[in-house]
Amino acid sequence: MLAVIVNSTGFIAFSQNTNNPYSVYGIGEIDNGVYNRTSGMGGTGLALKSSVFLIDNNPASLTGLSKSWYIATLGATGRTNSFRGTPISSDNNSSKDFWIKRFALAVKVNKFWASGIGFNQFSNVNYNLKGNRFVEGSGDSYAVAYQGDGGLNEFYWTNAVSLGKHFSLGLRSSFITGSINQNETLTEASLTATIATKQQDYYRNFRFQAGALYETAITKNWNLLLGGKFSPKTGLIYDRTLTVTENAASIESNKYLSGGTFYLPVSYSGGIALKRNNKSTFAVDYTYQDWSSLHIRDQGWQLVNSQRVSAGAEFSSYKNDRGILVEKRFYQVGAYINNSYLQVRNTPINDWGITVGMGGSLKNSFLYSLSLQGGVKGTTVQNLIKQTFFGFTFSISYRDFLFSKGKVYAD
């Protein structure tokens, strides 16, 4: 009887109280954000590199680091969200988030080779839906709550090499792993029964991203940089288990249900940047992801081709330190628009945002960057949810000489 109720129902009158309502689909919300010096430029940095900061939007960018220095970077972000739409009420129209998004360590080993390791959040699941379900052919209804959490993390090793003075190649080798947990709680008052079902999907596989970067002087004061990145189609292998309890009594415990593969699409990215005397930078990025060819869909939603365009500008001030011109501080502005890979009820879930940022050097080899973001995601069309967000991204870095066999190597 209970299995029939669970499998033969429809959905009505759902509301939400969550930080990320659209993470209910697929492997959660895939994080395309950037948590480094380029955050204040709308995440624009496929054609950028730095001798001091760890910019790795493009795997080839590591070659810009100063030889014989290492750098460690920690990135975090916080956000406040407000929600609008038919499912929203006064008690669930806002939320707050804070995440540690990445940690990375990189070193320019010699004149030609740079290498780095790190991890970042690849996708995030965080939703809480509630409402009623009914048995087809009857007027009986049941209170139901859905809650999801978890997500995937990416652990990577990046290597980049310089081929002459103008051209660099890079490869990021990643291992993506994590679990996505979906919990359903079904309550029927007359039967005094509460049925809790927990489905867990465990994902893992390797992924590779290749990058290229070209830089040349076009006038005495201006440099041109071109960057590109490519990711092939990648299958994330998963195993699914099920746990069911009734009034806290175990019915099934970690029962293996099935296995399968969730595919990530082919992705192409390109960027262009102009730098004037290393004091002013203007950059544009474009990314295309071929989701439609994967035919990933379910009832009411599907994944479609996505495009993201971002642009940003940066302005730096310098100081004279013992005869050497050193960057003191930088200021940034940027924006992006993202035609998302997610389509719900034949409606695209797109987003856009604007950013401002600043950063510079602190004492004792510490560096920092701080950016503020504001934007909109989703729509109220088709009884969907529109999310307005404001937040910050902060990264702190420590940079020092690499010591080897008692020697200190310098540029």
Q: Where are the domains of the chain?
A: 2-408
What is the four-CA torsion angle of 297, 301, 307, 312, rounded to 10 degrees?
-140
Spacing of C-alpha 72 from chain mean position? 20
The average pLDDT across 138-150 equals: 80
Confidence of residue 304 (pLDDT cuts 50, 70, 90): very high
State the pLDDT at residue 327. Answer: 80
Provide the pLDDT for residue 301. 93
Classified as helix, coil or strand, 266 is coil
Higher pLDDT, 188 or 242: 242
Higher pLDDT, 8 or 299: 299
> What's the pLDDT score for residue 328?
86
The per-residue pLDDT for range 224-283, each reduced to its tens digit, is 999 999 999 999 999 999 999 888 788 888 899 899 999 999 999 999 999 999 899 999
DSSP strand pairing (306-321 vs 301-303): unpaired
- 3-state SS class at 138: coil
Length in residues, the chain: 411
Q: How confident is the model at residue 138 (pLDDT cuts 50, 70, 90)?
A: low
Quote the CATH superfamily of domain 2-408: Outer membrane protein transport protein (OMPP1/FadL/TodX) (2.40.160.60)
Local confidence band at 15 (pLDDT 50, 70, 90 cut-offs): very low
- Residue 247's pLDDT is 83
Q: b/e for 308-347, b at 16 or more Cβ within 10 A? A: bbbbbbbebeeeeeeeeeebeebebbbbbebbbbbbbeeb
User: In the structure, what pLDDT confidence band is assigned to residue 406 with cuts at 50, 70 and 90?
Assistant: very low
Average pLDDT for 197-207? 96
In this structure, are residues 304 and 338 in contact, taking their beta carbons and an 8 Å threshold? Answer: no
The position carrying tokens 């652990």 is 155
On the CB side of 121, CA atoms within 13 Å amount to 20
CA neighbor of 254 nearest in space, from 200, 294, 323 = 200
pLDDT band at 362 (very low <50, low <70, confident <90, very high): confident
Higher pLDDT, residue 257 or 210 = 210
pLDDT computed for residue 137 by the predictor: 60
Strand extents, DSSP E, 136-233: 141-163, 167-188, 193-217, 222-231
Compute the Cα dihedral for 185, 188, 194, 195 and give only its sign: negative
Share the mean pLDDT of the chain: 88
pLDDT value at residue 260: 94
What pLDDT was estimated at residue 252? 85
Say what the pLDDT of residue 134 is. 66
Token output for 110: 């010699």
CA distance 181 to 125: 8
Distance CA 382, CA 394 (A): 36
* pLDDT over 90 percentage in the chain: 67
Higher-confidence position of 20 and 242: 242
Helix (H) or strand (E) holding 234: strand 234-246
Question: Which tens digits make up the pLDDT trace of 32-52?
Answer: 889 999 999 999 999 999 999
pLDDT at 334 exceeding the cut of 90: yes
DSSP of 374-393: EEEEE-SGGG--EEEEEEEE
